[in-house]
Amino acid sequence: MKSVKSALLGNKQLIDTNNDVLIVQLREIIKEHRSLVITRLMNDLPTYLRFKFEAKPDKDTIIKIKESLFDLKNGGVDLKVYDNIVQQLLNRAIVHLTNEPIYKEIDELLSSIVATKELKLV
């Protein structure tokens, strides 16, 4: 039996029958964890954008960013982004799911939107 520990979801036990089953279960756990992170982020998006990108977006840009985050939240999980976690799961009994790869995925998405606008604080 393997388990994934998440600060947001708690301890999730995985059925350890074969690697394919483990990967499917991990994908669902990552999706659920990512969904919670994105929901929290969207609650105070302007502050995050100011902190991370030194940007102050207008209302239209905030709407566009929220739509992109919503799509990410409801979309599938690309395990290439989470390869480190996948490898840990295959080689260990307990894996800690952190927010770091999730925020990296979010920041890559947001940087393309923020870069297209003149949003930088002066």
Instruction: With CA atoms as reference, report the closest residue to 66 among 31, 42, 50, 46.
Output: 42
Q: Where are the domains positioned within the chain?
A: 2-116
Q: Between the CA of residue 114 and those of 22, 31, 66, 71, what are the distances in Å?
A: 36, 24, 12, 17
Sign of the C-alpha dihedral computed for residues 90, 92, 94 and 95 taken in this order: negative
Q: What is the pLDDT along the chain (122 residues), one digit of tens a residue?
A: 899 999 999 999 998 889 999 999 999 999 999 999 999 999 999 999 999 988 888 888 899 999 999 999 999 999 999 999 999 999 999 999 999 999 999 999 998 888 765 555 44
**Structure tokens given for 28:** 């669902």
47, HSE (Cβ side, Cα atoms, 13 Å): 5
Q: What is the pLDDT of residue 121?
A: 46
